[in-house]
Amino acid sequence: MNIRLILLFYAFQFLLSIHANGQDYNKELDKFYETYREKMKKDGKINSDKDFSIDGLLLRPAGENKGGKESSYWKNSSLRVLLLLKDNNGNDGYHNSRNYERVNNNFGRNIAAWIYGLFEIYNKGKKPSLTAAYDVYNQEKSFTERPFAIINIKKKVGKERVSDNEIKDYANAYCKEISKEICVLKPNVIICCGGKGGAVLNYAKDIILSKYSFDKKGSHGLIYYCKTRNLMLIRAYHPSFIASKDKMYTYLMEDFLECVSLLKKQSNNIENE
């Protein structure tokens, strides 16, 4: 067969695969991050690209043959969970949230329990027990196979500790950029992690997504729901925080079980700006 025809055939197959896979969320974020980084450089917040936290969908599949299917996993999932964190505290400079797959520390174990519990409730209508949620097999499978995303409010990496006031300053300074990240991903559940008195949830609700109206829901008051956008904010501890499993998992899941029917009544309608 003519070499030119072979090349045309493979080019056509490549275009077909792009069309089949549809939107590539991380690539959209990468393009947006070019301007986001430049703004932070001009503001004196970062010195180089490697100081900027790359966030978005965690790569799927995880493991040795990492990545390539995260967008299709996300697009085809009725439940799209985003974790909104204070910052990426990797103190080794360049840090990429998409590569994270450790389940053997407090941070990873609690995230895995949340992901497992939320998907089980959404798909089966039952709250998994603590034993099931923290089971090693369930955690590994949920953490490395379920689609979810991470966004850090403070994009500059390298500090092990950061104050709530500093995070609030970043939320105010870059609320449009953070809102844009959320608009690209279009989650229907955002777990707002940490901060004294639910600070991260308050920054999300009152600053980053302030144009939306949220109603408090759930017996424990951990759910904030926007009906017009079919978007649910969940107040949670930071996943690395040491607390009882009831505080870290049970109360959150009980409230989600009470309110999950709200998500199923309409499609997600977050505006793309």
Annotate 12-30 with DSSP letters as a single string: HHHHHHHHHH---HHHHHH
- What the chain holds in terms of domains, given with CATH numbers, is 22-263 (3.40.470.10)
pTM above 0.85, yes or no: yes
Write down the pLDDT at residue 219.
Answer: 97
- CA separation, residue 72 to residues 77, 80, 98, 249 (Å): 8, 12, 15, 28
Rounded Cα distance, 121 and 131, in Å: 15
Contact 139, 103 (CB under 8 A): yes
pLDDT at residue number 21 = 52
Find out whether 106 and 114 touch, Cβ atoms under 8 Å: no
CA distance 79 to 1: 47
Per-residue pLDDT of the chain (273 residues; tens, 9 = 90+): 556 554 454 444 444 444 445 789 999 999 999 999 999 999 999 999 989 999 999 998 876 667 889 999 999 999 999 999 999 865 444 468 898 888 889 999 999 999 999 999 999 999 999 999 999 999 999 888 899 999 999 999 877 788 999 999 999 999 999 999 999 999 999 999 999 999 999 999 999 999 999 999 999 999 999 999 999 999 999 999 999 999 999 999 999 999 999 998 876 665 554
Q: Identify the CA nearest to 175 among candidates 150, 204, 214, 139.
A: 204
**3-class DSSP state of 241:** coil
